A = this chain, B = another copy of it.
Amino acid sequence: MGQRLAILGAGNVGRSVAELAGEYEHEVVALADSTSAAVDSEGIDVTDVVERKRSGDDLGETAPEAVFETDYDVLVEATPTTLGDADPGFTHAKRALQTDRHVVLANKGPVAERYDELRELEAGSAGAIRFEATVGGAIPVLSTIEDSTPQAVTAVRGVLNGTANFILTRMAAEGLDYEHVLAEAQDLGVAEADPTFDVDGTDAALKFVILANVLADGGFSLDDATVEGIQNVPGSALELAAEDGRTIRLIGEATRDGVRVSPRLVPENGALAVTGTRNIVQIETRNAGSLHSSGRGAGGPETATAVLSDVGRLPPL
């Protein structure tokens, strides 16, 4: 059933959601970034608005706050992830729920840092929250857990940061050191100019914290995670691992008891040794053994498919 989407955030993910919405028979009634908004209750001209963004112009004539005055069904929160108070993303979600609208998040902050509060707001709203896009990009992780029922899932383990995985894959393949491969990754656009959250494990940890919140129905935030990144993995460690038929990956694990992210030895040809920017999750279940899902964990269109998948699963308002 076609929904009217109000999209906050006009980066890769926000723009891709706008561009693909029509394919899923949804209407984009608003697209906003931090300085301006394009708003049209009949549906904005997505191609035109995205072109303006690419040219460095304002998206439209309206202030971003105007988005909340529009007639929309689903707020898509795709502004940059922030930690701690998770604002402005958390407050955006709160406003939508308080006016009985749905919220689909691509922004990890609110569901990693203030999960319990968000669920409380949802309980008092006619709207629902969904957040598949916050974990594993195009890979259907959260919907798989939801359909199996969270109670039937005992643990989720895997590789959920493509930048760190790319770096480790290249270090192992080429015998190059971390600094060299990081520079290469930045040239390719696989790592940001400021790659901190990717290489220090924070990005992966946020995702596994979200998973722990889903398994345990809340109670976790980033502070609860034990996190170690890849910045100190020397090339020699990878060579040593290879002599033993192993390699090193940044592996995270979430259970009802906690979250841990760190570089770990894994069998070279095993499921966890995904290569390049690919992600993988292993979902351990009580009744059905272990389910492995791998795919592209990041990217505009990839993440947009997760957002639009969520939109499709929302109940009618």
Given A149-B23, A151-B23, A309-B147, is A138 in contact with B285 using a C-beta cutoff of 8 Å? yes
Given A152-B305, A294-B292, A295-B292, is A287 in contact with B20 using a C-beta cutoff of 8 Å? yes
Q: A7 to chain B: which residues have CB within 8 Å?
A: none
Given A287-B302, A289-B295, is A140 in contact with B144 using a C-beta cutoff of 8 Å? yes
Q: A148 to chain B: which residues have CB within 8 Å?
A: 305, 309
State the Cβ distance, A275 to closest chain B Cβ, in Å: 11
Interface bits A255-292 vs B (CB < 8 Å: 1, else 0): 00000000000000101000000000000010111111
Q: Give CA–CA (A299, B288) in the complex, Å.
A: 8
A121 interface hit (Cβ, 8 Å) = no
Q: Give CA–CA (A309, B287) in the complex, Å.
A: 12
Q: Is the interface of A mostly helix, strand, loop or mixed?
A: mixed
Taking a contact as CB atoms under 8 Å apart, the answer to whether A288 and B292 are in contact is no
Q: Which of B152, B288, B312 lies in contact with A147, CB distance below 8 A?
A: B312
Residue of B nearest to A19 (CB): B287
Residue of B nearest to A300 (CB): B287
Taking a contact as CB atoms under 8 Å apart, the answer to whether B296 and A23 are in contact is no
Given A24-B149, A140-B144, A140-B147, is A295 in contact with B291 using a C-beta cutoff of 8 Å? yes
In chain A between 139 and 174, which residues have their CB closer than 8 angstroms to a CB of chain B? 139-140, 143-144, 147-149, 151-152
State the Cβ distance, A169 to closest chain B Cβ, in Å: 15
Taking a contact as CB atoms under 8 Å apart, the answer to whether A143 and B151 are in contact is no
A304 interface hit (Cβ, 8 Å) = yes
A301 interface hit (Cβ, 8 Å) = yes
Residue of B nearest to A303 (CB): B288
A293 interface hit (Cβ, 8 Å) = yes
Q: A290 to chain B: which residues have CB within 8 Å?
A: 295
Using a CB–CB cutoff of 8 Å, the interface residues on chain A facing chain B are 20, 23-24, 137-140, 143-144, 147-149, 151-152, 269, 271, 285, 287-296, 299, 301-302, 304-305, 309, 312-313
9 additional contacts (CB under 8 A) given A140-B144, A288-B296: A138-B291, A143-B143, A148-B309, A149-B312, A288-B299, A289-B302, A292-B293, A292-B294, A293-B293
